Each structure stands twice: as C-alpha cells, then as structure tokens.
Amino acid sequence: MVKVEGWSYVYTPEERLRCAVYNYLWHKGLYITRGSKFGGDFLAYPGDPMRFHSHYIVEAIHRETPLTPIDIIYKGRLSTNVKKTYVLASITKEAEEAKETEEVFSFSWAGF
C-alpha cells in the first residue's frame, strides 16, 4: 500500500458535491463514467457500459446556483440530440438533523 502524505480526499465544495452525487447514483444501481464529452459531470448507465448506452447526463450543481432559461434550453436540446435525459443533482442539508440529502431533477426536450 502506498501512503500519500498531505492529500485530502475531498478538498473543495465542488469535489464534495460530485462525490456525494456519485455515491447517490452508485447506490441507485447505476454505472457511472465521465460526462465531460456531453457537458456534464457524469454519464449514468442502467447496467454494464459495455452492454448499455448511457441514459443520463448528470451535472452536480449547488442548489443556490442560478439557472438561466438559456442554460435549461441548451442542456435540454443537447441531451435530446444525443438521446439522453439531462439530470441536475444537488445535496441539501436538513436543518433539524444536519443531515445531507440528495435532490435530483431531470428534464428532456419535447418536440411540438
């Protein structure tokens, strides 16, 4: 085993958020890979990535981060063009218990 001194596992709030979202997705039974190719943090698969196409583009986002209508439009259109659902995932802290919980919202573009 290699010991690395001076390295902390989750250093920034963004890393902490991504780690919590990854953990949430993993415990839901999804397989996860990098999502930077599609503009997200992760791609989520319903099974082995060698046998399935990813169903979701997942972006870990802080709850307080504002989303403009243009953000929603481009994320929805991008995910539709690649036949995936765009998922925004965040964590919140419940006041009474000081416990973190996950919030997940998905959207896809619908043709009119």
By annotation, the residues acting in catalysis are 45, 53, 84
Q: Is-contact 104 85, C-beta < 8 A?
A: no
Q: Give the burial string for 1-20 (b: 16+ CB within 10 Å, else e).
A: eeeeeeeeeeeeeeeebbeb
Angle in degrees, CA 89, 38, 104, rounded to 5: 10
Q: Is-contact 43 34, C-beta < 8 A?
A: yes
Element (DSSP H or E) covering residue 73: helix 69-81
